[in-house]
Amino acid sequence: MSAVFVYVTAPSELEAQKLAEAVVTDRLAACANIIPGMKSLYHWEGKIEQAQETVIIFKTRSSLFQALEARVKELHSYAKPCIVSLPLGQGHMPYLDWIMAETKP
């Protein structure tokens, strides 16, 4: 059993809500935290850009990362969306068991 957090950024809270609803409805994640108001500074096409973004943290099993990534890419408005998996080394077992129970086997 291996749980991960999947970190995704979106250009707006509305798009983040759409992504979260699709992924959780499809049982590709047990939960999605939507955190609005992040300020991003980044290189893009030879310039430094700045933007407001919304963070989504999905809680899922590592075996579902590729399916979750595909679903997010299908719905995301960015050409190269941030979709990265963060392994969970340790955690409260009842919580980790809940993630496993609420996602596709």
Q: What is the mean pLDDT of the chain?
A: 96
User: What is the CB-side half-sphere exposure of residue 63 using CA atoms within 13 A?
Assistant: 8
What is the pLDDT, as a whole number, of residue 40? 96
The whole-model pTM stands at 0.95
Alpha-helical segments (H) within the chain: 13-25, 65-75, 93-101
Reply yes or no on whether the pLDDT at 77 is more than 90.
yes
pLDDT class for 53, splitting at 50, 70, 90?
very high
Hey, which residues does 59 pair with through a beta bridge?
A: 5, 31
What is the pLDDT, as a whole number, of residue 3? 96
Domain boundaries defined on the chain: 3-101
Reply yes or no on whether the pLDDT at 103 is more than 70.
yes
Domain 3-101 has CATH 2.60.200.20: no
